[in-house]
Structure 1
Amino acid sequence: MTTPAVSFEFFPPKNLEASFRLWDTVQVLAPLNPRFVSVTYGAGGTTRDLTRDAVATLHKNSGLNVAAHLTCVKATREETLEIANAFAEAGVTEIVALRGDPPQEDGKFTVHPGGFASSVELIAALKETGKFTIRVGAYPEKHPEAASEAADVAYLKRKFDAGADEAITQFFFDTEHFLRFRDACAKAGIDKPIVPGIMPIENWKGIRRFALNTGTSVPAWLDEAFDKAERDDRQDLFATALCTEMCTDLIAEGVDKLHFYTLNRPELTRDVCHALGVTPSVRLENVA
């Protein structure tokens, strides 16, 4: 089996305890030599400053290739590009460019006065600077706001045409969703990398709620399987085996890159990577 290249997503800490958890996560996963690690924004841009601080600290102290999430929410074009340029000046030249989720109280995305109206506009502006490698989101199952799966593919093509270099998908529970999406993208003329997003399941009930909110379908058999695993006190063992099997199936279909949503809880991600042959090659020292 081919050993995949991996990348990891973190979220910025909101308090001291969460800061320690983030650094612990980095120390566990950095030895796996990821292509990059990314740091998210909260819904509605609620963690913009925290993201900026976490990105700067990771870039300075971890030795990792750090990518910053950047969204169109609650900022003018000038403010958004000012943040991007600050990242570039700090040596961070990887951006995950997203429209962004609206604030919870708003319910739907509305264009900020003077702001970018879409991720396509943001991508084009970032591309024009010539400073960044640009990654974008993709949806192997229909985005809740999309008219159809075909519309999702067409919109992803617009992102690539605007200057994106690579796409990372929303997580999924059935590899067939990703493989059909990849085939549809190829048929539409998309030839840039599309990397599957992988969610090791630390907490089934929490991930299940999140999946339903994002339009990710939940197979009935998974409910039954996690109920049984919980009764037998084997949730982590089952989650590791399930995720490893899914990744192995993807690799068998020619996937050579995987992006893990870690939720700042690294153990399952580490164990899955080890099972896939991704083993420590660089030991991180003195992260502070």
Structure 2
Amino acid sequence: MTPPILNPAREEQMAHASPLFAAVPGDIAVSFEFFPPKTDKMHAQLWSAIETLAPLDPRFVSVTYGAGGSTRERTHDTVARIARETNMAAAAHLTCVEATKEEVDAVADAYWQAGVRHIVALRGDPPEKGKPYSTHPGGYENAAALVEGLRKLHPFEISVAAYPECHPDSADPQTDIDNLKRKMDAGANRAITQFFFEPDTFFRFRDDAARAGIDAEIVPGIMPVMSFGAVSRMSAMCGTDVPSWMATLFEGLDDHPEARQLVSATIAAELCRRLYAGGVREFHFYTLNRAELAYAICHLLGVRPKTDAAALQAAARETAI
């Protein structure tokens, strides 16, 4: 069933009228993205983040895959350990870059054997910056072909990427939507978006996808700003608009990391609140292997550890009585 086309102006009005509840709403689901660590220090930081966020009971946690498969072994080791040592569902990113179909299939098979049942299927970025993407000889042409190939291997749960502000390699937004439709038709379960900073950006994209006949779940990707300069550089590479008001809010905070975190959490939580008012109930957080901001934002949205959530719900019932 195709979801209804929503009016961004009406959703904006709803958001301003909707309070940020401290009580657990009970209908928000979250997931978190990590990247494979390179050093012992980064390894410790990653597992500290995982241990902090695990009590929030995420639907899944995903681990990225470097350009050209540069992190293949580290990604596999990280995902396999999450699947082996935690109760969280682990999702492995997998790309088409610099590999034949047989090589990609072998990686997918290894994930299945390790107990991983969820793949984030991506075309991937060129291994050399500045060079256009080209299909590897004998490789999967794009993410849609990869999804189709994975469907023939095992009954994976499959997520794919979506781009609310259009992928840099797409000729125009309609071409980008058409590509997303092909990925969903190939068998993907959901799309997770590139990060963005204005709620209307997501609402417009969601409506465009619905018009194109895409009725699968589209999950907004949320990027808490740890460094405004770094996020600005990433945004320029992936075509994400950074609104001028963000620069104003982060101005003068370079030497005040604690204050910067407070501002960042407030901005991201407000974005999520307005998305929630527009009907969004699932959020995917790009953690950059740090837990504090994602945890704080989830807390503001009422996503708490299971024991805390149960206590809050009980208190709310008693108050109602």
Question: Does TM-score exceed 0.5, indicating one fold?
Answer: yes
Identity fraction in percent: 48
AA aligned to 1:236 is Q
Name the stretch that deviates more: 68-77 or 219-228. 219-228
Per-residue deviation at 1:230?
Answer: 4.6
Q: Give the whole-Å Cα distance in 2 for the aligned partners of 1:106 and 1:45.
A: 17
Match of 1:195 among 219, 238, 243: 219
**Residues 30 and 282, structure 1, Cα contact 8 Å, conserved in 2:** no
- 1:6-64, Cα deviation, whole Å (9 max, x unpaired): 00000001111111011001011001000000000112221111101111111111221
- Aligned partner of 2:28 in structure 1 is 4
Q: 2:109 aligns with which of 60, 81, 85?
A: 85
Q: How does 1:32-71 map to 2 (within 5 A)?
A: 32-71=56-95
2:16 alignment counterpart: none
From the CA coordinates, give the structure whose radius of gyration is larger.
Answer: 2
Counterpart in 1 of 2:169?
Answer: 145
Alignment correspondent of 2:246: 222
Look up the match of 2:15. Answer: none
- Aligned residue number for residue 286 of structure 1: none
Match of 2:53 in 1: 29
1:155 correspondence with 2:179? yes
Structure 1 pair 18–232 and aligned structure 2 pair: CA distance change class (3 A)? closer
Gaps of 5+ in 2: 1-20, 309-321
Structure 1, 64-73 or 99-108: larger mean CA deviation: 99-108
Secondary structure at 1:200 match in 2? coil
Q: 1:119 aligns with which of 143, 153, 169?
A: 143
User: What does residue range 166-177 of structure 1 map to in structure 2 within 5 Å?
Assistant: 166-177=190-201
TM-score (norm 2): 0.85
1:245 to 270, 275, 286: 270
Q: Distance in 2 between matches of 1:93 and 1:24?
A: 24
Which residue of the partner structure matches residue 298 of structure 2? 273
How far residue 131 of structure 1 moved from its aligned partner, in angstroms, is 2.1
CA distance in 2, matches of 1:43, 1:126: 20
Cα distance change of structure 1 residues 118 and 275 upon mapping to structure 2, 3 Å threshold: same
- Partner Cα separation in structure 1 for residue 289 and residue 75 of structure 2: 14
TM-score (ref. length: structure 1): 0.95
Listed one character per residue, the Cα deviations across residues 167-206 of structure 1 (whole Å, up to 9, x for unaligned) are 0000001111110000000011110000000001111111
1:68 deviates by 0.4
Q: Residues 202 and 105 of structure 1: is their aligned pair in 2 closer, same or farther, counting only changes over 3 Å?
A: closer
| Paired AA for residue 273 in structure 1 | C
CA contact 1:143–1:152 (8 Å) conserved in 2? yes
1:132 to 156, 162, 173: 156
> Following the alignment from structure 2 to structure 1, what is the Cα–Cα distance between the partners of residues 128 and 242?
23
* Aligned partner letter, 1:277: G
Match for 1:188: what amino acid? A
Residues in 2 aligned to 1:143 and 1:105: alpha-carbon distance in whole angstroms: 16
Q: CA RMSD in A?
A: 1.5
- Distance, in Å, in 1 between the alignment partners of 2:132 and 2:307 is 43
User: Matched residues in 2 for 1:215 and 1:204: separation?
Assistant: 16
Which runs of 5 or more residues in structure 1 are unaligned? 284-288
Q: Distance in 2 between matches of 1:23 and 1:130?
A: 29
